[in-house]
């Protein structure tokens, strides 16, 4: 068994999925490996850990979505977490993942993945700032390895103010990021451990609204 096969087996132990979801994820990983040879979509050193480092790390967000069906993934890149989330939601009535990615080659990969895997995905090949104001009905805003929490809240602010929750994959410095974000926003935050990384954290942000910049800062 190869290192990559070992990683897949370990990932599925950490986060079991249905047969249908597994088939989609296998096809996604295969497609990602093929495109990686010419497009460099993920860090080359992480290829042997695609399942734990990327796939299941992204998929676990579904556990914290509280049944949400309509997601917006900011800076989707290689589809992490957007395409992976859509693979987990495929077949669920009303499910839709909006993947926002301004990089042309990455957006092309997202479209190909959505088409080949028959996923409920809409790809927006534009800057985040130009897209978020056009979207309605978003229940969760997510991002992975994109920016500090304060910047993420600014980027998705229009959606957060409409009532969407923020669900972001972060590291062990999340408390510092929460403190920084609280200087510009009031919100309630829940921090959960990652199933794939002992130092990883998942933060869920709710009830976000811009803070009057003259107010003293403190996060709820």
In three-state secondary structure terms, 178 is helix
**185 Cα distance to chain centroid:** 21
Domains for the chain: give ranges and CATH numbers: 3-167 (3.40.50.150)
Q: What is the CA radius of gyration of the chain?
A: 17
Q: Give the model confidence (pLDDT) of 111-167 as tens digits.
A: 999 999 999 999 999 999 999 999 999 999 999 989 999 999 999 999 999 999 999
Exposed, middle or buried by CB within 10 Å (0-12, 13-18, 19+), for 25?
A: buried
Summarised one tens digit per residue, pLDDT across range 4-52 is 899 999 999 999 999 999 999 999 999 999 998 777 778 777 788 899 9
The SS3 of residue 43 is coil
């Amino acid at each position: 068994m190869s290192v990559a096969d070992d990683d897949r087996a370990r990932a599925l132990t950490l986060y079991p999925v249905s047969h249908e979801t597994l088939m989609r994820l296998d096809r996604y990983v295969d497609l990602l490996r093929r495109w990686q040879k010419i497009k460099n979509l993920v860090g080359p050193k992480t290829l042997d850990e695609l399942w734990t480092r990327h796939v299941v790390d992204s998929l676990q967000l579904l556990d914290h979505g509280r049944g949400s069906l309509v997601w917006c993934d900011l800076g989707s890149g290689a589809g992490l977490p957007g395409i992976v989330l859509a693979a987990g939601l495929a077949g669920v009535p009303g499910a839709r993942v909006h993947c926002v990615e301004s990089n042309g080659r990455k957006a092309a990969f997202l479209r190909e993945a959505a088409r080949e895997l028959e996923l409920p995905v809409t790809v927006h090949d534009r800057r985040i700032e130009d897209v978020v104001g056009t979207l309605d009905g978003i229940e969760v805003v997510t991002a992975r390895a994109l920016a500090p929490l304060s910047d993420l809240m600014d980027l998705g602010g229009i959606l957060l103010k409409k009532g969407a929750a923020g669900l972001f994959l972060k590291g062990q410095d999340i408390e510092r990021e929460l403190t920084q974000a609280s200087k510009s926003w009031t919100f309630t935050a829940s921090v959960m451990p990652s199933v794939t990384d002992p130092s990883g954290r998942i933060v869920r942000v709710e009830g976000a609204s811009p803070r009057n910049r003259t107010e003293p800062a403190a996060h709820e």
